[in-house]
């Protein structure tokens, strides 16, 4: 994707100097980052760098030691996860978690509960248009879906509530390359339709193909921030993902077949 050389002026998500600790161990050391209106932003970094923890701090799933999170100018620093969803931020958690004993359709309806207590069927058709693979299987148990279909369902569950920022934590996890491409393409399509995307991904090359802007997280801090092409060409990213001993199997695949 060709990146514009200037980020959009309007900030959607503004994370300022966020620190997060588990017990006494601080793992996010003062991260500041932004997602601007209409952007597809990726967060890259090795396993254990603190990416999921940062996302959880944004979504209100872990407490922040200090720092602030604003969304559309509203201070969400101390807001509950539910209030954050209602403000327009939805996170699809790592590991495509869906309710296996419910049908595809019931899983989707759960995604509307934070907004309407009984679920809102009127939103289903939009999701089925976006994801025909879910429409075909609407009455199937989620347990019968493939891993890729479950991930699409998890995305559908997030999107059905019509958030303005969709956060995806390593949606590629454990999936086949063709399925990963489908999910990243879906995310890019959603972005073009006006939904801002914040993606955490280890598949650097694939993620940078779709994202406008990216941050590289190393040991709980931002090591680099640039447009996708700048990050791709920079040697820091190469060093982090090709050098160093403690890389995961996925993170060594910086150079992927086109």
Residue 22 contact partner, candidates ligand ADP, Mg ion, none, CB within 5 to 8 A by sort of partner: ligand ADP
Select 58 or 130, whichever has its Cβ closest to ligand ADP.
58
Select 238 or 247, whichever has its Cβ closest to ligand ADP.
247
Sole binder of Mg ion in the list 45, 50, 52, 165 (CB under 5 A): 52
Sheet with strand 11-22: strands edge to edge: 25-36, 11-22, 66-71, 74-75
61 C-beta neighbours (distance < 10 Å), count: 14
51 lies in the binding site for ligand ADP (CB under 6 A): yes
Of residues 66-105, which lie at the interface with Mg ion (CB under 5 A)? none
Considering only the stretches 47-55, 70-78, 97-105, 152-160, report the one whose residues sit in contact with ligand ADP under the rule CB under 6 A.
47-55
Considering only the stretches 44-52, 137-145, 227-235, 238-246, report the one whose residues sit in contact with ligand ADP under the rule CB under 6 A.
44-52
Residue 29 CA to residue 142 CA, distance in Å, equals 38
Residue 155 CA to residue 53 CA, distance in Å, equals 20
Residue 74 CA to residue 56 CA, distance in Å, equals 18
Of residues 15-34, which lie at the interface with ligand ADP (CB under 6 A)? 22, 27
52 lies in the binding site for ligand ADP (CB under 6 A): yes
Location of structure tokens 């879910």: 134
47 lies in the binding site for ligand ADP (CB under 6 A): yes
In the bound state, the residue with its beta carbon closest to Mg ion is 52
DSSP 3-state assignment of 83? helix
What's the count of helices (H) and strands (E) in the chain, helices before strands?
A: 10, 10
- Contacts of 169 by beta carbon, 8 Å cutoff, 6+ apart: 51, 52, 55, 91, 92, 93, 94, 200
The count of chain residues that interact with ligand ADP, using the rule CB under 6 A, is 10
Min separation Cβ 48 and Mg ion, Å: 8
Select 246 or 258, whichever has its Cβ closest to ligand ADP.
246
224 lies in the binding site for ligand ADP (CB under 6 A): no
Residue 45 contact partner, candidates ligand ADP, Mg ion, none, CB within 5 to 8 A by sort of partner: ligand ADP
Q: Per the structure block, which two tokens stand in for 177?
A: 């390359």
DSSP 135-187: HTTTTSBGGGS-HHHHHHHHHHHHHTT--SEEEEE-TTTT--HHHHHHHHHHH
7 lies in the binding site for ligand ADP (CB under 6 A): no
The binding site for Mg ion (CB under 5 A) comprises 52
The binding site for ligand ADP (CB under 6 A) comprises 22, 27, 45, 47-53
């Amino acid at each position: 994707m060709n990146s514009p050389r200037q980020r959009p002026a309007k900030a959607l998500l503004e994370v300022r100097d966020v620190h997060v600790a588990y017990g006494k161990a601080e793992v996010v050391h003062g991260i500041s980052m932004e997602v601007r209106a209409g952007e597809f932003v990726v967060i890259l970094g090795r396993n254990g760098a603190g990416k999921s923890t940062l996302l959880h701090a944004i979504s209100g799933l872990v407490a922040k030691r200090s720092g602030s999170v604003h969304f559309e100018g509203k201070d969400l620093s101390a807001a509950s996860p539910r209030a954050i969803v209602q403000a327009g931020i939805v996170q699809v958690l790592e590991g495509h978690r869906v309710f296996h004993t419910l049908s595809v359709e019931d899983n989707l309806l759960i995604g509307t509960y934070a907004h309407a207590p009984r679920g809102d069927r009127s939103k289903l058709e939009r999701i089925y248009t976006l994801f025909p693979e879910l429409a075909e299987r609407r009455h199937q148990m989620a347990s019968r879906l493939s891993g890729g279909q479950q991930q699409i369902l998890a995305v559908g569950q997030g999107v059905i509530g019509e958030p303005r920022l969709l956060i995806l934590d390593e949606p590629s996890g454990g999936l086949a390359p063709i399925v990963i491409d489908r999910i990243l393409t879906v995310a890019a399509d959603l972005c073009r339709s006006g939904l801002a995307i914040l993606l955490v991904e280890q598949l650097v090359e694939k993620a940078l193909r779709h994202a406008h802007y990216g941050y590289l997280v190393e040991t709980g801090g931002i090591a680099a921030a640039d447009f996708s092409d700048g990050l791709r060409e920079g040697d820091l990213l190469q060093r982090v993902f090709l050098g160093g001993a403690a890389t995961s199997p996925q993170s060594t695949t910086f150079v992927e077949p086109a």
